Amino acid sequence: METVSAKEKYLICNSLACIPTLLEGQSILIDLRNETSVAGRILNADGFMNIHLYEAVFIDRHGLQYEFDEFIVKNRCIRQIQIPKEINIANELDKMMSKVGKREPRNQKRNLKEKRAKDRHDEIVNEIAQQQNKDAAK
Q: Give residue-wise pLDDT tens across range 40-59.
A: 999 999 989 999 999 999 99
pLDDT value of position 102: 59
pLDDT value of position 103: 60
pLDDT value of position 13: 81
φ/ψ (deg, to 5) at 103: -80, 145
pLDDT value of position 128: 85
Q: Is position 124 within any domain?
A: no
Q: Is position 110 within any domain?
A: no
Q: What is the CATH number of the domain that holds 37?
A: 2.30.30.100
Q: Is position 111 within any domain?
A: no
Q: Is position 84 within any domain?
A: yes
Q: Is position 115 within any domain?
A: no
- CA atoms within 13 Å, Cβ hemisphere of 3: 2
Domain span including residue 50: 6-105
Name the stretches of the chain with pLDDT < 70.
Answer: 1-2, 100-108
Q: Is position 85 within any domain?
A: yes
| pTM of structure | 0.67
The number of folded domains in the chain is 1
